Amino acid sequence: MSINSYPDPALLRATVAEHGVPVLLLSCETIRSQYRSLHEALPGVELHYALKPLPHPDVVAALADEGASFDLATNGEVDVVRAAGIAPERCIHTHPIKRDGDISHALAYGCTTFVVDNPYELDKFLPYRDQAEILVRISFRSSDAVVDLSYKFGIAPDQALDLITKARDMGIKVRGLCFHVGSQSAMSYKHVEAIGFCRQLFNLAALEGIELDTLDIGGGFPVPYTEPVMPIDDFCRPIVAALERDFSGTRILAEPGRFISAPSMTLVSSVMGKSERGGTMWYYLDDGLYGSYSGKLYDHCNYQIIPLKLLEGEEPDERRPSVIAGPTCDSIDVIYEGQMLPELECGDLLVSPMMGAYTWATATEFNFFPKTKIVRVD
Amino acid sequence: MSAESLHLWLEQTWNEQQSLRLRLRSCLHESTSPFQRIAVYDSFALGRVLALGGTITLSEADEAIYAEGLVHPALRCHSAPRRVLIIGGGDGSVCREVCRYPDVESITVVEIDQTVTEIVREYFPTLGASLDDPRVDLVIDDAHRFLSTNTDCWDIIIIDADSLHSTANHVVQPVPIGSLLEQRLAQGGILVAPLGLPAFAASTCRDQLRELAQRFATAAVYQFTTPSMIGQQWAVAWCSQERVPELIEPAPACTGELEYWAPDLQASLFALPRHRQRQLGLA
Ligand SMILES: Cc1ncc(COP(=O)(O)O)c(C=O)c1O
């Protein structure tokens, strides 16, 4: 996957002609091919698509057809997979913090594997100990990932054994361990290190007579936004070697979200208005930080934004430093400053590829700008 | 169908670029313990081999070299080795070598996987028998945890593992294993710790050696080769605060016939080629 691949401009124009702007073009073929390449890079690993970056029914249906499994975190996500007719055995529930109603809702659906990372949470499973099984989430901090997912969740490795034995004493079945080293990891050595640590925890549990049989290596598989990333095969090779060394015979899961969904959507927005302020051109788009570009804030992600006419081959005479802002009344709603852009007119279309993960999913409807419509193109 | 007709091979990977294949005659045992895959094969070149997690840790052809190579260079440099600790060592071969010394009073073997000792008793009975020596205390535990919860001291500590690092449990033990080993060594004690295969992983050997050199007045390196496994040239750290790797006279009593080690070999084991000295940061 190159960082410069865009959908065919004609398709973009045709979609806009039919559905208006702003619009997100969803490619389920891309979802499928991303799933396949990760599946090939991680042979023998059950891939549970994490719904959170893009909880769209068409994505779920395409992945179900590819044989994927699913990672759920909320009742809403449970409802999406249930509506898609997914067998509950193919799902795990990975939110470390749950209300009683979250547990019972997932159990009523038939999803029986849950994640726990502290003793208070364990107590909530006492009434469900005949049905529910636990993965204990371990915290491995990574300075290297764009989004650190061991800050808020995960038990310190040196406290994990106590939690596991406490569960045993409560009659709650612990199946294994899970971790998430952080989203958009640059390299996989953190995964490898975490796998080694988990082996040692498996060993310590075994010495207590507790045989763990499942390891969930989380997500974190990177995609190129404005910078190239390691090809997925190269990224996964050390992980596969570590799993082969330490965990052959153990059931291995992963929870990829971004890798599968990010490349699947392309945003087309348009210039709502323009202004020249202090010698700088300002362009106000009909989508912004409160909308599909919300990932710029929450996901710390930089997306490319390219005028469609440049993709169509137009050669601009000159480019000027420009500000690209969103449509809301809030001053924070500025997507980029200092972008070198050719002069744009009201109605001109702008294109952002790689807009499938943590974009639409985290958008708000501030100022009554509705969430951008998703249009499936294949 | 016999393994021969299947052309069964066992591959040993040294690093991402190099591996060795061993032709097998038959598979005698395969199982998975809570800790690892355990297999016993009959091989054409090396006789019976024990493979843990797919890695050969013992072969009939070479086990004497490996075990003697870890035991005698240390015990023959100690005037009164009474208490010996073997970390790993569930296969019994290092223990058998220690048992040759009648003046050794206690041998503690810390093995994480009980199943290994059971399999060895079945398929390598002469090795397994050494664990039944009355002086032997077999402890089933994680070595790092054992060291951090124990307050005994030993005259000799032998790490029977592919490297010191591989026995460290980073998860639960805040104190580095090197520091614990230093604390658990008696006055005049000697620690023997394999660093790995320097031909394939020089930098990890060097890192471990550097750590040991910071703790011990003497952290010498010697090498020996288990030749049937092409490429298996081991670098081993020999560490002590008080002693140096020179043979003690009179030699402590040692029974039976050795296959590999002899007094006149000692000095040559510690003579390292120039490139190895450079790789290990010694020159
Ligand atoms: C528990 C859990 N699993 C999986 C994911 C998906 O991670 P990624 O998008 O990096 O693959 C997340 C992301 O927040 C998560 O919190």
The pLDDT tens digits of the residues spanning A26-67 come to 999 999 999 999 999 999 999 999 999 999 999 999 999 999
Q: Residue B46: what residue type?
A: L
For A71-85, what is the mean pLDDT? 98
- Boundary (domain end) residue, out of A203, A222, A256: A256
Answer whether residue B3 shows pLDDT above 90. no
Answer whether residue A269 shows pLDDT above 60. yes
CA of A118 to the centre of ligand 1 (A): 19
| One domain, residues A267 and A248 | no
A211 touches chain B (CB under 8 A): yes
Residue nearest to atom 6 of ligand 1 (CA): A257
Inter-chain touch B171–A202, beta carbons under 8 Å: no
pTM for the structure as a whole: 0.90
The percentage of residues in chain A with a pLDDT greater than 70, rounded to a whole number, is 96
Selecting from B16, B37, B171 the residue whose C-beta is nearest the C-beta of A248 gives B37
Tell me the average pLDDT of chain B. 93
What ranges make up the beta strands (E) of chain B? 9-13, 19-32, 37-43, 47-52, 55-59, 83-88, 106-111, 136-140, 154-160, 185-196, 218-225, 233-240
Inter-chain touch B174–A158, beta carbons under 8 Å: yes
Identify the pLDDT of residue B22. 92
Residue B35, min C-alpha distance to chain A (Å): 6
Q: Tokens in use for B1?
A: 């169908």
Going by pLDDT thresholds of 50, 70 and 90, the confidence category of residue A293 is very high
Residue A371 class from Cβ within 10 Å (0-12 exposed, 13-18 middle, 19+ buried)? middle
Residue written as token pair 């038990």:
A155
Q: CA quadruple B226, B231, B234, B235: dihedral positive or negative?
A: positive
Indicate the CATH number for domain B63-279.
3.40.50.150
CA of A183 to the centre of ligand 1 (A): 6
Q: Taking CB atoms and an 8 Å cutoff, what residues of chain A touch B116?
A: none
Residue-wise pLDDT for B9-35, tens only, equals: 999 888 878 889 999 999 999 999 999
A194 domain residue, yes or no: yes
| One domain, residues A79 and A218 | yes
CA B160 from chain center: how many Å?
Answer: 3
- How many CB atoms are closer than 10 A to CB A332? 11
Q: Please tell me which residue of chain A has the smallest CA distance to B142.
A: A204
Q: Taking CB atoms and an 8 Å cutoff, what residues of chain A touch B142?
A: 200, 203-204, 207
Residue-wise pLDDT for B102-145, tens only, equals: 999 999 999 999 999 999 999 999 999 999 999 999 999 999 99
| One domain, residues A112 and A252 | yes
| One domain, residues A343 and A317 | yes
Identify the pLDDT of residue B5. 54
Question: CA–CA separation, A86 vs B203, rounded Å?
Answer: 49
Catalytic sites of A, residue numbers: 329
Identify the pLDDT of residue A1. 38
Has domain B3-59 been given CATH number 2.30.140.10? yes
Which are the contacts of B93, defined by CB distance < 8 A and separation ≥ 6? B58, B63, B64, B66, B67, B124, B127, B130
Residue-by-residue DSSP string for A18-71: HH-SSEEEE-HHHHHHHHHHHHHHSTT-EEEEESTT---HHHHHHHHHHT-EEE
- Characterise A154 by phi-psi region: left (phi > 0), alpha (psi -120 to 50), beta (else): left
| One domain, residues A60 and A202 | yes
| One domain, residues A125 and A217 | yes
Q: CA quadruple B37, B2, A44, A132: dihedral positive or negative?
A: negative
| One domain, residues A229 and A271 | no
Identify the pLDDT of residue A126. 97
Inter-chain touch B172–A204, beta carbons under 8 Å: yes
Q: Which of B23, B4, B27 is nearest to B12 (CA)?
A: B23
**Ligand 1 pocket mutation pick from A37, A52, A184 by most atoms within 8 angstroms of CB:** A52
CATH number, residue A344? 2.40.37.10
Residue nearest to atom 1 of ligand 1 (CA): A94
| One domain, residues A236 and A286 | no
Helix (H), strand (E) at residue A230: none
CA of A12 to the centre of ligand 1 (A): 30
Helix (H), strand (E) at residue B178: helix B177-184
The percentage of residues in chain A with a pLDDT greater than 90, rounded to a whole number, is 91
Q: Which range is least confidently modeled, A31-35, A109-113, B249-253?
A: B249-253
Identify the pLDDT of residue B165. 86
Residue A13, min C-alpha distance to chain B (Å): 48
CA of A71 to the centre of ligand 1 (A): 9
Q: Taking CB atoms and an 8 Å cutoff, what residues of chain A touch B170?
A: 157, 196-197, 200
Q: Taking CB atoms and an 8 Å cutoff, what residues of chain B touch A233?
A: none
Residue-wise pLDDT for A306-327, tens only, equals: 999 999 999 888 999 999 999 9
Identify the pLDDT of residue A358. 97
DSSP 8-class letter at B265:
G
Helices A28-41, A57-66: inter-axial angle, 10-degree rounding = 40
DSSP 8-class letter at A376:
E
CA of A299 to the centre of ligand 1 (A): 11
Question: CA–CA separation, B238 vs B220, rounded Å?
Answer: 5
Identify the pLDDT of residue B229. 77
What number of residues does chain B have? 283
Q: Taking CB atoms and an 8 Å cutoff, what residues of chain B touch A136?
A: none
What number of residues does chain A have? 378
Residue B253, min C-alpha distance to chain A (Å): 37
Residue written as token pair 């805040």:
B174
| One domain, residues A207 and A294 | no
Question: CA–CA separation, A125 vs A107, rounded Å?
Answer: 11
Answer whether residue A156 shows pLDDT above 60. yes
A246 touches chain B (CB under 8 A): yes
Inter-chain touch A207–B171, beta carbons under 8 Å: no
Task: Phi first, then psi: give them for residue A228, nearest 5 degrees.
Answer: -70, 155
Inter-chain touch B112–A203, beta carbons under 8 Å: yes
B23-60 per-residue burial string, b: 16 or more CB within 10 A, e: under 16: ebbebbeeeebbbbebbbbbbeebebbbbbbeebbbbb
| One domain, residues A91 and A238 | yes
Q: Residue A298: what residue type?
A: Y
Q: Which of A28, A50, A46, A27 is nearest to A38 (CA)?
A: A46
**Which ligand 1 atom minimizes the distance to the CA of A220?**
10
Answer whether residue A101 shows pLDDT above 90. yes
- Boundary (domain end) residue, out of A190, A225, A256: A256
- How many CB atoms are closer than 10 A to CB B262? 10
To probe the interface with A, which of B113, B172, B173, B204 has the most A CB atoms within 10 Å? B172
Going by pLDDT thresholds of 50, 70 and 90, the confidence category of residue A151 is confident
* Most distant CA pair in chain A, distance: 74
For B29-46, what is the mean pLDDT? 94
Answer whether residue A6 shows pLDDT above 60. yes
A5 domain residue, yes or no: no
Inter-chain touch B171–A197, beta carbons under 8 Å: yes
Q: Please state the domain count of chain A.
A: 2
| One domain, residues A231 and A301 | no
Q: Residue A347: what residue type?
A: G
- Boundary (domain end) residue, out of A232, A256, A280: A256
Answer whether residue A145 shows pLDDT above 70. no
Inter-chain touch A200–B34, beta carbons under 8 Å: no
Tell me the average pLDDT of chain A. 95
Question: CA–CA separation, A179 vs A254, rounded Å?
Answer: 9
Residue written as token pair 């080293």:
A181
Identify the pLDDT of residue A375. 98
Question: CA–CA separation, A123 vs A139, rounded Å?
Answer: 20
B195-218 per-residue burial string, b: 16 or more CB within 10 A, e: under 16: bbbbbbbbebbbbbbebbbebbeb
Q: Which of A225, A224, A265 is nearest to A355 (CA)?
A: A265
Residue-wise pLDDT for B151-170, tens only, equals: 999 999 999 998 888 888 87
| One domain, residues A198 and A80 | yes
Question: CA–CA separation, B200 vs B18, rounded Å?
Answer: 8
> Which structural domain range is residue A205 located in?
55-256
Question: What residue spans define the domains of chain B?
Answer: 3-59, 63-279
Question: Is B146:B116 a contact under the CB 8 Å cutoff?
Answer: no
Residue-by-residue DSSP string for A148-210: -SSSSS-B-HHHHHHHHHHHHHHTPEEEEEEE---EEES-SHHHHHHHHHHHHHHHHHHHTT-
Residue A9 class from Cβ within 10 Å (0-12 exposed, 13-18 middle, 19+ buried)? middle
Residue written as token pair 């013992």:
B58
A29 domain residue, yes or no: no
* Residues contacting ligand 1 via CB (< 6 Å): A 50, 52-53, 71, 94, 149, 180, 183, 218-221, 255-259
Answer whether residue A374 shows pLDDT above 60. yes
Answer whether residue A242 shows pLDDT above 80. yes
Residue nearest to atom 7 of ligand 1 (CA): A219
Identify the pLDDT of residue B18. 86
Q: Taking CB atoms and an 8 Å cutoff, what residues of chain B touch A196?
A: 170
Residue A166, min C-alpha distance to chain B (Å): 17
Question: CA–CA separation, A121 vs B192, rounded Å?
Answer: 45
Q: Which range is least confidently modeled, A110-114, A205-209, B10-14, B168-172?
A: B168-172
Task: Phi first, then psi: give them for residue B112, nearest 5 degrees.
Answer: -80, -30
CATH number, residue A177? 3.20.20.10
